[in-house]
Amino acid sequence: MHHRTFAAALGAAALTLSLAACGDDSASGTGGNAVVSGDSSAATAQADFFTVTDPWVRAADEGMTAVFGTLVNDSPQDVTVVSATSDITAEMELHETVQNDDGGMGMQAKDGGFVVPAGGTHELTPGGDHLMVMDLNRALKPGETVRITLTFADDSTKELDATVKTFTGAEEEYQGGATDTSESDGSE
């Protein structure tokens, strides 16, 4: 009888080990921090001809803020920004600003990411498209620099340094957006 118990315990231990190994794999896969994963690909990675002019982040002590700038695509094909990460927050989203049925402004995730046309630009501006910082893990003071990593549709990545600035216009939109968190992912 002791035999059986021991074997069962061994089996459980082995199972736990293999599960843990799986978990490690996926964790390092999604973690994907500052490592540039696309640098072994062909010379035509979407990141290669991509720059951001005057990137900046709105100063804030806590909670939500956003990253702005001009996305510039110098390649002969459209480039799509599909996600963004930064060490100032666990979560960033690509947002667009839209008019609600009641005439107010709201923000929502941009379906399909930001498409920057071949040889063209795409503006990220207050009141328009932006990279949404969902929950700051530290205060951002004017003059600081924040490292942002953009990921493109082909998995190539581009790092940029955004300057923290005080923003004085259109505050209502951000207040409005902040209250929207209770219904994020909701239909309206």
Using CB under 5 A as the criterion, which residues of the chain lie in contact with Cu ion when the complex forms?
95, 107, 132
**The two three-digit tokens of residue 105, written as one number:** 């402004």
Q: Please tell me the distance from the alpha carbon of residue 71 to that of residue 128, in angstroms, as a whole number.
A: 13
Q: How many CB atoms are closer than 10 A to CB 177? A: 20
Give min distance, CB of 181 to Cu ion, in A.
10
* Among candidate residues 119, 123, 122, 39, the one with its CA nearest the CA of residue 75: 119
Q: In terms of CB distance, is 9 or 98 closer to Cu ion?
A: 98
Q: In terms of CB distance, is 54 or 91 closer to Cu ion?
A: 91
Rg of the Cα trace of the chain? 21
Q: In terms of CB distance, is 107 or 160 closer to Cu ion?
A: 107
Give min distance, CB of 25 to Cu ion, in A.
32
Give min distance, CB of 90 to Cu ion, in A.
16
* Among candidate residues 108, 132, 128, 110, the one with its CA nearest the CA of residue 188: 108
**The two three-digit tokens of residue 5, written as one number:** 């118990």
Q: In terms of CB distance, is 67 or 116 closer to Cu ion?
A: 67
Give min distance, CB of 36 to Cu ion, in A.
26
